[in-house]
Structure 1
Amino acid sequence: MDLELTDNVALVTASSSGLGKASGRALASEGANVVLNGRNQDRLDAAVEEVREAAADTASVIGHAGDLTDPDDIADLVERPVAEFGGLDHLILSAGGPPSKPFLETTDEEWYEAFDLLVMSAVRTVRAAEPHLTESEHGTIVNITSASVKEAIDGLVLSNAVRMSVIGLEKTISKELAPDIRANAVLPGTHETPRIEELVEQGVERDEYESYESGLEEWADGIPIGRVGDPMELGRTVAFLSSPVSTYLDGVAIPIDGGSGASNL
């Protein structure tokens, strides 16, 4: 299916690895010009090269380093696609996860840091991008959050609580910014991201798993599809939600979890 994204312009935050990078790769493979973002310049450069290799012949891929907790960095980041490509059509909001801790061990400082990273980064980026997205004929926002907004995950109090605010923001702007801009969200379950790879490899080193493959199988326990997700499966959904093919979807939050969720809604 042609997602009709050729010559569109997309900005993907926190996209030097994992699900953000997969989203950038999916968009570029459909012909969109993509700006990737990350804090580590070397990792970002590597991601740009990888996404370029998968991009359509007509697509351009560039990187822009910046910290999503720094308002000045966000302002510069949003202006980069406008300067390079003449506008901005699609904003994909990704951010690193807060630390995993139980409630009683989580400090006030960690609560504020998580809110700044997950919520205020989205608020500031949307605020800066809104004029450009409104000017576009294709304006979309896709939030990459977590399955934890549907069902709390043990030991992840910060993600469970704070990411709910991102969904509240997404639902609100899906109404306030419509019809010029559509806003949706994806709620990833377990995917084979660098973080999962690291955890499985650590388990192999501790002799918890016989091999990397057997470790992945254990991580897939309880997932009806029978395996962990490929990041590109989420990336392709992000590209779909950014495309004209999905123009009647607005304000939705789609779990991408292999069927592991138990929530009815």
Structure 2
Amino acid sequence: MDLELAGDAALVTASSSGLGKASAKALAREGSNVVLNGRDEGRLEDARTEIESVASGRVVTHAGDLTDPDDISELVSVTVEEFGGLDHLVTSAGGPPSGPFLETTDEDWYAAYDLLVMSVVRLIRAAADELRAGDGGSVVHITSHSVKEAIDSLVLSNSVRMSVIGLEKTLSRELAPEVRFNSVLPGPIETERTRELLEQAIERGEFDSYEEGLAAKGSTNPVERIGRPMELGNTVAFLCSPASAFTNGITVPIDGGLGRSNI
């Protein structure tokens, strides 16, 4: 299926690895010109090499910190300068640390909000004019299954990420019809973040090994495994495309049926 994304300009944040990289790869494979973002130049170059192997558009890297307002403005400016505009924005960011509520400091809360919410606010503010100027801009937020169902030991993610969903729903009306806003809610998917959380769980004594933790995560899922990054990336590309032109203001769980909520 041709998603009609060839020649479009896309910016994907936190795309040197994980779900951001998978989303950028899916867009590049469909012919979009993509800017990759991350803080580590070496990892960005590795990601570009991998994505260019399947891309039919251009792939550009630009390092920047999503908690730095100046870096965010520059990131959008670079995208526009490289590609002549901006059609699609995919927001992704690393997750906050795990841990119980009573061990979470004020500094932890402010840092999580700055990373997960204010980065999105600043990105959209900087990109809004360009997104509205095209034939149909789109924004897709990569958040977490935790906005539907709280996950043990992830109090920061459970609480703070919900703000992005409220913002998405608001902007799906305020900036319509020029720009569509949607979110994907990944469940357990084998990324570096998953490995990090499992290693923290091992340190807390919850599992004896990574393999045990991975099997435990997949055992409760109806599809009997955890997800693959490209399974989410493909959905992101679809939500950016004209094929989803009547899809606006929704949240899409990508969790293999793990969630038990009816809506």
Moved more, 68-77 or 191-200: 191-200
Instruction: Please report the RMSD computed on the Cα atoms of aligned residues, expressed in angstroms.
Output: 2.1
Alpha-carbon distance in structure 2 between the residues aligned to 1:96 and 1:146: 11
Question: Which amino acid letter does the alignment assign opposite residue 246 of structure 1?
Answer: S
* Deviation digits for residues 173-221 of structure 1 (CA, Å, limit 9, x no counterpart): 0000000000000000000112324566788999998986665332201
User: Which secondary structure state, in structure 2, belongs to the residue aligned with residue 10 of structure 1?
Assistant: strand
The question of 1:170 aligning with 2:164 is answered no
SS of the residue 1:261 aligns to: coil
61, 64, 67: which one aligns with 2:65: 67
Q: Following the alignment from structure 2 to structure 1, what is the Cα–Cα distance between the partners of residues 136 and 24?
A: 17
Q: Tell me, in whole angstroms, the C-alpha distance in 2 between the residues paired with 1:49 and 1:235.
A: 17
Tell me: CA distance 1:169–1:25, structure 2 relative to 1, closer, same or farther (3 Å): same
Could you tell me how far apart the structure 2 residues matched to 1:87 and 1:137 are?
11
Correspondences of 1:42-53 after superposition (within 5 Å): 42-53=42-53
Match of 2:231 in 1: 233
Query: How does 1:92-241 map onto structure 2 within 5 Å?
Result: 92-197=90-195, 215-241=213-239
- Between the aligned partners of 1:175 and 1:54, the Cα distance in structure 2 is 35
Q: Is the 8 A contact 2:145 2:186 kept in 1?
A: yes
Closer, same or farther: CA 133–206 of 1 in aligned 2, 3 Å: closer
Instruction: State the AA in 2 paired with 1:75.
Output: S
Q: Which runs of 5+ in 2 are unaligned?
A: none
Q: Which residue of 2 aligns with 1:9?
A: 9
- Worse-matched range after superposition: 206-215 or 241-250: 206-215
SS at match of 2:161: helix
Q: With the length of structure 1 as denominator, give the TM-score of the two structures.
A: 0.94
- How big is the shift at 1:71? 0.4
1:27 equivalent in alignment to 2:9: no
Q: Distance in 2 between matches of 1:144 and 1:12?
A: 10
Deviation at 1:264, TM superposition (A): 1.0
CA separation of 1:153 and 1:181: change in aligned 2, threshold 3 A? same
Amino acid at match of 2:75: L
Query: In percent, how many aligned pairs have the same letter?
Result: 64
**Which amino acid in structure 2 is aligned with residue 54 of structure 1?**
V
Aligned to 1:251: 249
Show CA shifts across 1:211-263 (max 9, x none).
86665332201110111101000000000000000000000000000000011
- TM-score computed with the length of structure 2 as normaliser: 0.95
Q: CA deviation at 1:172?
A: 0.3
| Distance in 2 of aligned mates of 1:99 and 1:221 | 24
